[in-house]
Structure 1
Amino acid sequence: MIRYYQPVTEQITLIPGAVETLKLFKDKNLKVGLLSNTIFPERFHTEELKRFGLDKYLDLALFSSEVGFKKPHPHMFCTALEKLGVVPHSALFVGDRLEEDIEGAQKVGMKAVLKIKEGEDCPACIVPDAKIANLSELPEAVLKLFEI
């Protein structure tokens, strides 16, 4: 399995601003979690999070391969909220997929921010609470959405 997985992990790169944004939120004592749809076991992802130094900023990393459900199923989001001890209306989900991330989060009562991919349009049927082009815009979006 490791031989199969290695070519995949070699292609992984961090989104610019990921570490800085996660650090900022952790410094503000906000709970931070990761939800991922994946076929790979948790241990493979945990190693990648450690390799990039992201693990120290996460209170939770939840993988569909372990939960038994994929986003946008409410169970994925509700499991994360429960494990973090957070109620939906005080939670924010950031994702780059309209149906899986944005619609899924909103259906359980979370606010949702769409990270727009360059050249991608946003259909009117799913409306994120905010849109960002890069992670450096996320702190401002959080301030506006939660009126902090």
Structure 2
Amino acid sequence: QINQSTINIINTIKLHVKVGIITNGSTQRQKAKIINTNLNRHFDTIIISEETGFSKPDKHIFELALKKLNIQPEDVLFVGDDLEKDIAGCQNVNIKGIWFNPHMITNTTEIKPYAEINTLDSLLSYVTPQYFYNK
């Protein structure tokens, strides 16, 4: 279940940048989740591993997203809750990974996220026009 505040955050971000989903799993299951929560209406692209033949952390799934959105890695922030699959994966193609860590788990890995956030609204400070002008 996705709450309205999450949708509001996504829509605010969409005012400034393109947004996409990269998800591992079966097409049928992931599409059902995305459609049941109406997330499909809020994203510019949705990439499901089963459809591509690649799963996170494979760099090819991230490269596919870059191509579909017609953007360069240095212009991307990727948010994920899995250090290995999401953060290390996106870093393999020079995308900055923001670790979404709502349970404030200690990072005991060698993986160093670009940033760490505990709430989705914290993400807004990274996607304001000021961020892009000052990077």
- For the 8 Å contact 2:56–2:86, the answer to whether it is kept is yes
Q: CA RMSD in A?
A: 2.0
TM-score, normalising length: structure 2:
0.87
Match of 2:113 in 1: 128
Match of 1:68 in 2: 53
Post-superposition shift, 1:126? 0.6
Relative to structure 1, is the Cα distance of residues 18 and 99 closer, same or farther in structure 2, using a 3 angstrom cutoff?
same
Relative to structure 1, is the Cα distance of residues 15 and 96 closer, same or farther in structure 2, using a 3 angstrom cutoff?
farther
Match of 1:6 in 2: none
Cα distance in 1 for residues equivalent to 2:3 and 2:36: 14
1:62-99: per-residue Cα shift (whole Å, max 9, x none)? 01111111101000100011011011110110000001
Partner of residue 23 from structure 1, selected from 2, 11, 15:
11
Q: Secondary structure at the match of 1:93?
A: strand
Identity in percent: 31
Relative to structure 1, is the Cα distance of residues 107 and 45 closer, same or farther in structure 2, using a 3 angstrom cutoff?
same
Partner of residue 83 from structure 1, selected from 58, 65, 68:
68
TM-score, normalising length: structure 1:
0.80
Match of 1:33 in 2: 20
Relative to structure 1, is the Cα distance of residues 142 and 75 closer, same or farther in structure 2, using a 3 angstrom cutoff?
same
Question: Tell me, which stretches of 5 or more residues in structure 1 are unaligned?
Answer: 1-12
- For the 8 Å contact 1:129–1:145, the answer to whether it is kept is no
Match of 1:106 in 2: 91
Structure 1 stretch displaced more, 60-69 or 15-24? 15-24
Question: Tell me, which stretches of 5 or more residues in structure 2 are unaligned?
Answer: none
- For the 8 Å contact 2:96–2:114, the answer to whether it is kept is yes
Structure 1 stretch displaced more, 85-94 or 137-146? 137-146
Query: Partner amino acid for 2:35?
Result: K
Partner of residue 115 from structure 1, selected from 100, 103, 110:
100
Match of 1:8 in 2: none
Cα distance in 1 for residues equivalent to 2:35 and 2:19: 16
Relative to structure 1, is the Cα distance of residues 107 and 80 closer, same or farther in structure 2, using a 3 angstrom cutoff?
same
Match of 2:80 in 1: 95
